[in-house]
Structure 1
Amino acid sequence: MSINDMTVAYDDGDIDTNTSTAPSLNQLVEIRYSRRQTLMGGLSAMTTAVFGSALLAGCGDDASETADLTVTATASGASAAGRPVTLTGTVTGTPESVSWSQVSGPTVTLANASGNVATFIAPAVATGTELTFRFTALKNGLPASATASVTVGAPALGFTAVAKSLADTVAVPSGYSVTILYRLGDPINAATAAYGNTGSDTNFAQRAGDHHDGMSYFGLSSAGTPDANSSTRGLLALNHENITVGYLHPNGPTNFTAAGPRPEAEALKEIEAHGVSVIEVTRATAGAWSYVQSSSFNRRITPNTAMQFSGPVRGDANLRTRYSPDGTTGRGTINNCANGTMPWHTYLTNEENWAGYFRRLSGDAAVRTAAGRARQNSSLARYGISEGRQGNYFWSTVVASDPTSTIFSRWNATASTALAADGTADFRNEPFQFGWVVEIDPFNPASTPRKRTALGRMNHEGCQIGRTVAGVKPAFYMGDDAQNEYIYKFVSNTAWSAADADATDRLAIGDKYLDTGILYVARFAADGSGQWLPLVFGQGPLTAANGFTSQADVLINARLAGDALAATPMDRPEWTAVNPATGEMYCTLTNNSSRTPTGTRAVDAANPRAYTDPKTDGRSAGTGNVNGHVIRLREAGDTSEATSFTWDIYAFGAGSDLDPATINLSGLDATNDLSSPDGLWFGLPSNASGQVTPVMWIQTDDGAYTDVTNCMMLAAIPGIVGDGGTRSVTSTLNGATNTVTTRIGKAPGATLRRFLVGPKQCEITGIHSTPDGRSVFVNIQHPGEDATNPAAPTSNWPANQGGATTAATTRPRSATIVITRDDGGVVGL
């Protein structure tokens, strides 16, 4: 994810619908109407008794009289999946009790089933399906009952598209509400003072960090253990990718040059504002969400937090540092972008643009070569740590007040000739301690996070587990977020066991599934097929003859291994998401300014566009694949263990006014045009948004379409791989022309719709929901990032959300929001 702050040019380096169990015709007549009732109601009453309310267009008013009671039942409300339905029973007379029960249709949970008025959320169904319910009143042990029915339709987007906007607010559809939950600087314990937001606040190890990003919600029981069904109390784990450095200090950063020295307190604040938060969140009876400031679960994990290495690279010579001479431990995690939610209730956070934080001075390469570590030079260069780099924020220039402290000097990776060649006396090997997937147990604040080295080292954007099937080895899908990098998957050596979802030693379950297996890289073919190529030492070109020394070396240098296997360079692979109904994997390819019609980075079937993107605000036009696209694949045999797949492109980002032949290939219009897709997530299978035809959410991190709109979030109900066809696309750029044939999905049309637009200069990133899908958490990152002076911010969000009056000098803050439907339904449907 690209960052541009006010002081530095940042370098990234099936629901069962069988109604056969319904009572027979004779049973319905016998149960529902006595002879007396039939005589009273005549033919009309008999008809309703037999056919229920199927004749009543979605509601019932069947009536019954027994034991001096007369009852009626009706159903009202929306009849679409995910929407609330109300059942109302009325009684004439004085019953001893009343109750609702379900007669037919997919099983739902009835709220207030022992009352006159019960409610439920309409389930996801493939086609229109009738659900029937019986209202029963009892007196002297004799029942009087009536039924009501409602026909539920298949899942569909249930909101009007939000217009594009340049306003400084979060805009959502009518009928939805936004709550600000957790902002930059918010304290996570009772002892830490409220955030002043003036740049003078300290102790970010006990405050919310900056640049909220990937995020997962974990249901929490009253006993403080995982509860996969809890939608009112939970733990929220979220990443703090980066910082807008100017807003963190009273007047911006001091001595902000390579010469430094940076002030110790400023640098410490900047470091601690990175990492991860784990916070407890609750929903009050009235429906409002808040975080629990004094919760014992609250925790900040920063770049200074102790870590353990696990998997094949643990103890490797390349991990040995002054802090960890044996290469088994390390400190912290940084530039954490997307995430992963494990079925055993742990959180995966992923180190993305970590390389830019390191200083590496001229002459370092010669020192490594002389020490017999020339291999490290090619590795460092391949990951973007070239000689002459000064390191983002210049932390290594700090002169620490404690001479034994290495929390600043560790960011200088320059090898010293005066120190041990194995790196145990300096931090030449510190860059190899980053670029990993990190597993955190959010339920145990005392646990040490583990870096899972079997999943490879790269600019990890996210790590999304595929569908879990008992007896089948699970797969974990990942993107390497940089131009012309690769898509990967890791297949565990261990077949899935559902019992592991309830284990109490959650990190031990992570050991079981994440420490041994095969890492693969993707190659896409022009005919719509693809292969997963194994990154295994000794196989194919991954041999000593080609510079690889061990499996640890292959994993440390996953990019070099991908190069050797001729994997397909992609247009910045970012978030991955798996459709819980089909198992298909989607990946956002955000953009690629180096994509060209011909040459080394020539267009290909999987990355078919190179063009000039015009601007309307006077800025220079962008070139390459400026607006990005979303690619998807389906594993052969629909199994995570497959080594081949088929693929197509779900949608191409573009402005609705751009050429449909060469740029706007998906036919986007004003309700759904977008640029630079980034965040990606499917609704959970525990609610209607993740069932039958699940909802997919797309978030943008855009620098191209921001002359027209702020960044946004869209909802989609995608089809399946192969539902479209082929398309011939001609790219013309800088005098070069090339035509390729690609695979493109069915045009999204109304099944893709803009749901949210964010405030000025933000990125929309990070999304998860409660199990019931009725509360969705979203992160708003770096609003107002383009300001050049902290005293004149270019955004005042979130203080101004909802039209609140605020001073023009109020500094913006990254924040987590909660989105709910005013009618209590599932968000998006």
Structure 2
Amino acid sequence: MTKRLRARRRLAGLPADRYATTDKGRIIRRTAAVEAPALSGLVRATLSRRGLLLGSAAAAVALSLPGERAAAAETSVGFPELKRVMDDHDRIAAGYDRKVLIRWGDKVLPDAPEFDPANLTAAAAARQFGTNNDLLVYLPLPIGSGRSDHGLLFVNHEYPNPQLMWPGLTEDDAGAKMTEAQVAVTMAAIGCSVIEVKDDGAGWQVVAGSRYARRISPATPMRISGPAAGHPLMRTAADPEGRTVLGTFDNCNGGVTPWGTVLSCEEGFDGWFGGDPAKTEHAALLARYGADKEEDGYGWGRFHDRFHYEREPNEAHRFDWVVEIDPYDPEAQPVKRTALGRFTHENASCVVAPDGRVVVYMADDHDFDYLYKFVSARPWNPQDRAANRDLLDEGTLHVARFNADLTLDWLPLVQGEGKLTAENGFANPGDLAIKTRLAADLVGATPMDAPEGFSVNPVTGRLYVALTENEDIAPDQVNAANPRAPNPEGHLLELTPPAADGRIDHAAARYGWDIFILCGDPAKPEARARYHPATSADGWFTDPDNIAFDPDGRMYVCTDGPPDAGFNDALYVLDTDGPGRALPKLFYSPPRGSECSGPCFTPDGRTLFLSVQHPGEDSETLDAVTTRWPDFRDGVPPRPAVIVIRKADGGPIGT
């Protein structure tokens, strides 16, 4: 979710019995929060614990503290750091090349027309590369080959920017002014794309006419599986059985399963529906999920009854899910896996527990919402891909509670146990799946500062969580894991599952945790930022969003918000262990108004695919754009795109 969208949603989705809004618009918590240690004490306790975990004196200088001597800037990150920019072009560190692979409007299906920005049509958009690409997943061809020069690229397309598609529209008035034909274009231009890509020795190219090429949109039929399938709240006039839904939208990040399917995450339905949710029988549930009659930003409800709260009150319940898609089979129907819970899904990172069960880590990207993990009921089958087809329909969903003693408890959300009973609105497992946020409220999960990226380091097995920001958290709302009020810059947490015999147990009920980075400008004491003391004036960042790791375990952090600080969003690289722990270096800066997202690597770590989302989104109208990246041609709007990053000498990225 972009920071602009988050600001529009800031007051939505909070339970009225726990939060209230002051006359100045600040969100306050009605009940007392867990008392957090003073910031300096918390950081020092964290450092002490890290020293015990790593057994390294270097760990003790991982975060800078007032009055402590800076450590030497030793790091595995080898490129010369990029200088900060606020530019209409993109920039990359010296020694690296970047190439545009595919842009909004380029061909995906063989019969797609050429991009014509003066004549956008839904028929063309349904066959072209969509707008505002986010998640990227590289899948080798053939399946299971591990090849790094030939594969499929799966791409999410999160949302449209109508003000950058047609003259005369602004971000604020597009929903009310767009014609039916324009609304149809916005619907066709989002969802997902599958393309085939190959490095033929002359660089990466999209393979034309690929049999794998596919576009998925809000009109694509999808199966509803798991405990919510057939539930009364999932039934509509068009689908009286509640088992088939048309499409997906607001697809943000996601993940990839061990058997090579993609988990595409729906990150909210609020903003896509018209009408007044308060006038429906599900007003309280819709409000907890952010529904607001003022948020019809795309005008869909003006022309489609299913996107109007009052005309089809159950349709909204059919979104905010994780969608499993098989890129290797273009005929396979996408499936909404309701056992993974319903909330504003930012991601779905998969890892395998020692007993073979699959664990999916997920973050609910709203202020004061939660972190989740799902543990499958049975192990996956590496020898039989088809046997894993419905593996994610059975298992246990958990929500995180952070304790002040630097432990974390995963609280199971099981219908019929504890407070999750019929008396509290959970009469069956489908109720729990559809009302996941309400279940998490009841069991006492820890409210978080807008959690987004949630990824596992493939080398160490530790998890890292990006908390993007929370400007509305008050001093009496802080907790051990969210220690600043307000928190406009965000922070990163590190979670440590237990290990036995050298095997990390991601299915365990209790983890350790600590604060990895407190974002902001370390030169400003009021920011209370914490990094490695050798962090440069170009290396610190704010608003962490997507997190990825290269095969050697270096962390890549995409930001979502720094234009407020006078420089572009960017991609930073850092170590999570050793002398360079928590020492970020600026690597890539996309053009004005954009963020980079969805970083993903080929298995050999020598190619990095990266999304450039919403370039020029800071423009008021199409007639006054702040950039025309990447074409820079009159009459051609800024175009979201996927870029390919390679090291000039062909070596691994990041070194």
Name the TM tier (shorter chain). 0.7 to 0.9
Question: Which residue, 467, 478, 497 being the options, matches 1:603?
Answer: 478
Q: What is the match of residue 315 of structure 2?
A: 430
Q: What is the match of residue 581 of structure 1?
A: 459
Query: Once the two structures are aligned, what percentage of the paired residues are identical?
Result: 36
Decide whether aligned partners of structure 1 residues 4 and 227 sit closer, same or farther in structure 2, where only a CA change above 3 A counts: same
Mapped pair 1:799 → 2:628: no
CA deviation map 1:71-121 (0-9, x unaligned): xxxxxxxxxxxxxxxxxxxxxxxxxxxxxxxxxxxxxxxxxxxxxxxxxxx
CA distance in 2, matches of 1:570, 1:636: 23
The one-letter code of the counterpart of 1:639 is D
Q: How does 1:477-556 map to 2 (within 5 A)?
A: 477-500=361-384, 503=385, 505=386, 509-512=388-391, 514-556=392-434
**After alignment, is 531-540 or 186-195 more displaced?**
186-195
Mapped pair 1:198 → 2:125: no
Q: What SS is found at the alignment partner of 1:300? A: strand
Q: Post-superposition shift, 1:786?
A: 1.6
CA distance in 1, matches of 2:512, 2:467: 17
Mapped pair 1:629 → 2:495: no
Decide whether aligned partners of structure 1 residues 670 and 254 sit closer, same or farther in structure 2, where only a CA change above 3 A counts: closer
Q: What is the match of residue 773 of structure 1?
A: 605
Q: What is the match of residue 541 of structure 2?
A: 674
Question: Which residue, 462, 468, 488 being the options, matches 1:590?
Answer: 468
Q: How does 1:316-715 map to 2 (within 5 A)?
A: 316-361=231-276, 364-365=279-280, 368=281, 376-386=282-292, 388-389=293-294, 391-398=296-303, 408-415=304-311, 427-469=312-354, 471-500=355-384, 503=385, 505=386, 509-512=388-391, 514-598=392-476, 602-610=477-485, 624-637=486-499, 638-659=504-525, 662-664=528-530, 667=533, 668-684=535-551, 689=552, 694-702=553-561, 704-715=562-573
Is the Cα contact below 8 Å between 1:334 and 1:351 reproduced in 2? yes
Question: Which residue, 145, 156, 163 being the options, matches 2:76?
Answer: 156
Q: Post-superposition shift, 1:171?
A: 1.3
Q: How does 1:205-216 map to 2 (within 5 A)?
A: 205-216=126-137
Greater relative contact order structure (CA < 8 Å, 6+ sep): 2
Q: Post-superposition shift, 1:362?
A: 6.6
Q: What is the match of residue 40 of structure 2?
A: none
Decide whether aligned partners of structure 1 residues 535 and 296 sit closer, same or farther in structure 2, where only a CA change above 3 A counts: same
The one-letter code of the counterpart of 2:602 is T
CA deviation map 1:644-673 (0-9, x unaligned): 111011111112422178234654431420
TM-score, normalised relative to structure 2:
0.85
Q: Post-superposition shift, 1:705?
A: 4.9
Question: Which residue, 100, 103, 110 being the options, matches 1:183?
Answer: 103
Is the Cα contact below 8 Å between 1:199 and 1:250 reproduced in 2? no
Q: Post-superposition shift, 1:641?
A: 1.6
Is the Cα contact below 8 Å between 1:477 and 1:576 reproduced in 2? yes
The one-letter code of the counterpart of 1:380 is L
Q: Post-superposition shift, 1:255?
A: 12
Q: What SS is found at the alignment partner of 1:356? A: coil
Pairwise CA RMSD: 2.4
Question: Which residue, 592, 596, 603 being the options, matches 1:764?
Answer: 596
CA distance in 1, matches of 2:638, 2:390: 40
CA deviation map 1:594-618 (0-9, x unaligned): 11212xxx212100112xxxxxxxx
Question: Which residue, 620, 632, 652 being the options, matches 1:826?
Answer: 652
Rg larger in 1 or in 2?
A: 1
Decide whether aligned partners of structure 1 residues 683 and 625 sit closer, same or farther in structure 2, where only a CA change above 3 A counts: same
Q: Post-superposition shift, 1:532?
A: 0.4
CA distance in 2, matches of 1:258, 1:762: 22
Q: What SS is found at the alignment partner of 2:646? A: strand
Decide whether aligned partners of structure 1 residues 526 and 254 sit closer, same or farther in structure 2, where only a CA change above 3 A counts: closer
Decide whether aligned partners of structure 1 residues 298 and 563 sit closer, same or farther in structure 2, where only a CA change above 3 A counts: same
CA distance in 1, matches of 2:8, 2:101: 28
Q: What is the match of residue 307 of structure 1?
A: 222
Decide whether aligned partners of structure 1 residues 293 and 252 sit closer, same or farther in structure 2, where only a CA change above 3 A counts: farther
CA distance in 1, matches of 2:172, 2:478: 44
Q: Post-superposition shift, 1:227?
A: 3.7
CA deviation map 1:503-550 (0-9, x unaligned): 2x3xx51412x1100000000011101100010011111112222221
CA distance in 2, matches of 1:274, 1:258: 16
CA deviation map 1:666-696 (0-9, x unaligned): 5443142001000111124xxxx2xxxx111
Decide whether aligned partners of structure 1 residues 661 and 775 sit closer, same or farther in structure 2, where only a CA change above 3 A counts: closer
Is the Cα contact below 8 Å between 1:232 and 1:282 reproduced in 2? yes
Mapped pair 1:2 → 2:10: no
CA distance in 2, matches of 1:249, 1:257: 10
Decide whether aligned partners of structure 1 residues 164 and 316 sit closer, same or farther in structure 2, where only a CA change above 3 A counts: same
Question: Gaps (5+ residues) in structure 2?
Answer: 13-55, 57-73
The one-letter code of the counterpart of 2:574 is A
CA distance in 1, matches of 2:287, 2:326: 34
The one-letter code of the counterpart of 2:299 is F
TM-score, normalised relative to structure 1:
0.68
The one-letter code of the counterpart of 1:486 is Y
CA distance in 1, matches of 2:75, 2:206: 31
Q: What SS is found at the alignment partner of 2:242? A: coil
Q: Post-superposition shift, 1:390?
A: 5.5
Question: Gaps (5+ residues) in structure 1?
Answer: 14-125, 127-153, 369-375, 399-407, 416-426, 611-623, 721-745, 801-805
Q: How does 1:180-259 map to 2 (within 5 A)?
A: 180-198=100-118, 200-202=120-122, 203-221=124-142, 226-252=143-169, 256=173
Q: Post-superposition shift, 1:199?
A: 5.5
